[in-house]
A and B are shown apart, each in its own frame.
Chain A
């Protein structure tokens, strides 16, 4: 019997307009292969992969083109067959920003010939070998943060609860929803493999309430699997219920201590997409070379989800979805709350690309008027971390770094809830990001000056000790000299005495 429970209520958070039905009314479709793929070697958090191919070399679909760098890292593979046209630095979307990264430009041959048709060696039995295969398979968290899966699992010692995250709370994004509807058995099988790897006694699959179809599909697949560790949890449709820390609180009632990560206290969170990717890697030997991307927003003709080979330009996705519909005000990578705006549509899809929103003017915040903070406290009520954003803002304006630390700026997850509810339209999240940066710099400076102080004190101490030693040596020398002098005088005295005695004897 499959256990289905209800998660706790989220503290703070927002019930935002979901904007998801537009993209879920169409089935997932495969994105056609473009003539060129730009595959970043920084597909994941941690260290970039190291290229193992040269320009001009022919590669097959799924062939490794980058090996994992120093941990945490993961391999990168050719998403299709073709010829390496260039290896150069380009701007690519990473976890939460654009960054420059070494990219492998692949000229596709349109044949999509697979690498090693006979498939790789069977899935190993012991954990270390499995983790190594996961790193070589290029697995990274597909929820958007793309932390290397092998590293996350390796650090998960004494895991009490495995959380497979299908909450997908951000507006617009529906790739996890569609994956759970289309391939629930892959999600469940991957979840069981993750449970094996972490040794967790409980494996909770968390799905938001507004995804009844996905929930039913996964529930059916979980029943078929008949694994006692599997449990399903309905999570309230409140943003950001799908954040790692929030999900841990919703599912266990415990909090992840400040400055630590969930795995430090026995929780491991993995996205449903990552679970499915693990299933495909273990069952079919298929590395992570494609992902589901939601293409949506008022600025795209036919919003839908696409199965996209890694490296396709964002503009190609829009084209395949009927092109731009009307004036596009902003192109957003990720969701409308935590995603970032793209400067153009030639940037490639990476493993972090869960969603591309071509947003119309009415869908996004425009610069416009803003007012001073009226201390309404709506930001504090919306904050899932229970911060007091209005007080942090004051401390940030005054560059009061001690107050910023005490008010918990480091604990801000940058979810953006405070921004959305602020009646004064203050860009709180952006100012907090800047304040975090400034606080980091301030701490660095302080650490530097403290270590300089310490060095100076040590040097002073050393100098004093040396002076002390010098004085002692001098003292000892003087003592020796004094002793020598006394001996000399005694000897002289003795000699004088002897001479005196001899004189007296000769006189007799």
Chain B
């Protein structure tokens, strides 16, 4: 009897890239539902446009590069990038905003560096930052949450789609009437105007910790992150270090001067904190490799996010913080390589 041979190990692998990407997408579903509930249909529309653009772009570039198209399209990584980008964008934007973001993320950040696994920077964050600095008006068209006591107009699915594709709003409505500053921005402006933190966050748009609606979404994102931890898709080092890096200065400064600085709870439950800690910073490709390196990397993201939010020119700084730490990864990896078994301490 002749048998086929193969090299050891013979045990089958326990996971795969598509499985990881699938789980990341699953973990975002509860937060996405809450997002739709509070902020309308912008998120799914933006995701669909970004995903379509990302897949077409990826296929096109791979064709140009003469590489096989199918495995790259079915690995799910482009969908994860699109989902993260959609979560980062304001709900009320026209179609070309997610399209440009996804194109830049996939064509320039991912494929031009060699495709999956080769990119130095987080594709979704580069796409987002590029949009933020290029189209500041569109990128600040955030809308207030839906709640019984808040009398803001909200668009239905068809109206949202209409605005995205054609820029048309229902008669009598303007973009200004629909949009509102984010909680992070409101607090930032307030603190700059020498209001105290409690004065700045006094409006009806604020909830227990962060903005109303936002804190639910953040909480569900954190829940999704815990699911990823439980399923072994991500490991605890980066989320913990990121949140720790954000919380440590926030807590210290808030304890020192509670009127001049936003509370740690506010920092945790507004903006991109949870999404960043569990879903963005944990992108393995652009993160540090070793456990120790990941602690350094995460802490750096948290600290930089806090610094940009508090003293920088943008209300949220997570995307910039991630990109800055992406750039520091080779250095971190070099200095945090674990000591090999049987080798003396260096």
Contacts of A423 in B (CB 8 A): 13, 15-17, 19-20
Tell me if B66 counts as interface (CB < 8 A to partner A). Answer: no
Given A256-B342, A388-B338, A365:B289 Cβ within 8 A? no
Contacts of B16 in A (CB 8 A): 369, 371, 423-425
Tell me if A328 counts as interface (CB < 8 A to partner B). Answer: yes
By DSSP majority rule, is chain A's interface helix, strand, loop, or mixed? loop
Contacts of B337 in A (CB 8 A): 388, 391
Tell me if A227 counts as interface (CB < 8 A to partner B). Answer: no
Tell me if A430 counts as interface (CB < 8 A to partner B). Answer: yes
Q: Which of A260, A336, A429 contacts B7 (CB 8 A)?
A: A429
A371 CA to B6 CA, complexed, in Å: 19
Tell me if A277 counts as interface (CB < 8 A to partner B). Answer: no
User: What sequence of 0s and 1s flags, for each residue 413-443 of chain A, a beta carbon within 8 Å of any chain B beta carbon?
Assistant: 0101001111111010110010000000000
Given A371-B75, A372-B118, A385-B340, A343:B5 Cβ within 8 A? yes
Is B10 a contact of A332 with CB atoms below 8 Å? yes
A447 CA to B235 CA, complexed, in Å: 44
A136 CA to B192 CA, complexed, in Å: 89
Tell me if A141 counts as interface (CB < 8 A to partner B). Answer: no
User: What sequence of 0s and 1s flags, for each residue 315-346 of chain B, a beta carbon within 8 Å of any chain A beta carbon?
Assistant: 00000000000000000010001111111100
User: What sequence of 0s and 1s flags, for each residue 284-324 of chain B, a beta carbon within 8 Å of any chain A beta carbon?
Assistant: 11010111001000000000000000000000000000000
Tell me if B166 counts as interface (CB < 8 A to partner A). Answer: no
Is A258 a contact of B11 with CB atoms below 8 Å? no
Contacts of B15 in A (CB 8 A): 378, 421, 423
A341 CA to B2 CA, complexed, in Å: 11
Tell me if B9 counts as interface (CB < 8 A to partner A). Answer: yes
Is A315 a contact of B3 with CB atoms below 8 Å? no
Contacts of A249 in B (CB 8 A): 341
Tell me if A381 counts as interface (CB < 8 A to partner B). Answer: yes
Tell me if B207 counts as interface (CB < 8 A to partner A). Answer: no
A422 CA to B6 CA, complexed, in Å: 17
Residue of A nearest to B70 (CB): A369
Contacts of B235 in A (CB 8 A): 377, 381
Tell me if B203 counts as interface (CB < 8 A to partner A). Answer: no
- Write the nearest CB–CB distance from A418 to chain B, whole angstroms: 9
B-facing residues in A324-379 (Cβ within 8 Å): 328-332, 336-345, 357, 359, 362-367, 369, 371-378
Is B3 a contact of A420 with CB atoms below 8 Å? no
Residue of A nearest to B232 (CB): A378
Given A331-B3, A365-B11, A429-B7, A376:B341 Cβ within 8 A? no
Is B9 a contact of A337 with CB atoms below 8 Å? yes
Given A338-B9, A365-B11, A330:B290 Cβ within 8 A? no
- Write the nearest CB–CB distance from A10 to chain B, whole angstroms: 11
Tell me if A255 counts as interface (CB < 8 A to partner B). Answer: yes
- Write the nearest CB–CB distance from A463 to chain B, whole angstroms: 44
Tell me if B171 counts as interface (CB < 8 A to partner A). Answer: no
Tell me if B158 counts as interface (CB < 8 A to partner A). Answer: no
Tell me if B12 counts as interface (CB < 8 A to partner A). Answer: yes
Is B9 a contact of A390 with CB atoms below 8 Å? no
Is A330 a contact of B17 with CB atoms below 8 Å? no
Tell me if A387 counts as interface (CB < 8 A to partner B). Answer: yes
Is A344 a contact of B343 with CB atoms below 8 Å? no
Contacts of B77 in A (CB 8 A): 374
Tell me if A386 counts as interface (CB < 8 A to partner B). Answer: yes
Residue of A nearest to B291 (CB): A381
Is B343 a contact of A408 with CB atoms below 8 Å? yes
Given A377-B289, A390-B289, A421-B14, A339:B8 Cβ within 8 A? yes
Is A342 a contact of B8 with CB atoms below 8 Å? no
Tell me if B117 counts as interface (CB < 8 A to partner A). Answer: yes
Residue of A nearest to B343 (CB): A258
A349 CA to B13 CA, complexed, in Å: 29
- Write the nearest CB–CB distance from A77 to chain B, whole angstroms: 29
Tell me if B64 counts as interface (CB < 8 A to partner A). Answer: no
Given A332-B10, A365-B11, A423-B19, A408:B5 Cβ within 8 A? no
Tell me if A234 counts as interface (CB < 8 A to partner B). Answer: no
- Write the nearest CB–CB distance from B321 to chain A, whole angstroms: 19
Closest 9 CB pairs of A and B: A416-B9, A341-B5, A372-B117, A258-B342, A376-B284, A430-B7, A408-B340, A385-B341, A371-B17
Cross-chain pairs A/B with CB under 8 angstroms, 16 sampled: A245-B342, A255-B342, A258-B343, A330-B5, A330-B10, A365-B13, A366-B12, A371-B116, A372-B118, A375-B289, A381-B291, A388-B337, A416-B11, A423-B13, A423-B15, A429-B7
A388-B337, A391-B289 given. 17 additional CB < 8 A pairs? A245-B341, A255-B342, A257-B342, A260-B342, A331-B3, A339-B8, A343-B5, A365-B13, A366-B12, A367-B6, A374-B20, A375-B287, A377-B294, A385-B341, A386-B340, A420-B11, A422-B13
Instruction: Give me the interface of B with A, judged by CB distance under 8 Å.
Output: 1-17, 19-20, 71, 75, 77, 115-118, 235, 284-285, 287, 289-291, 294, 333, 337-344
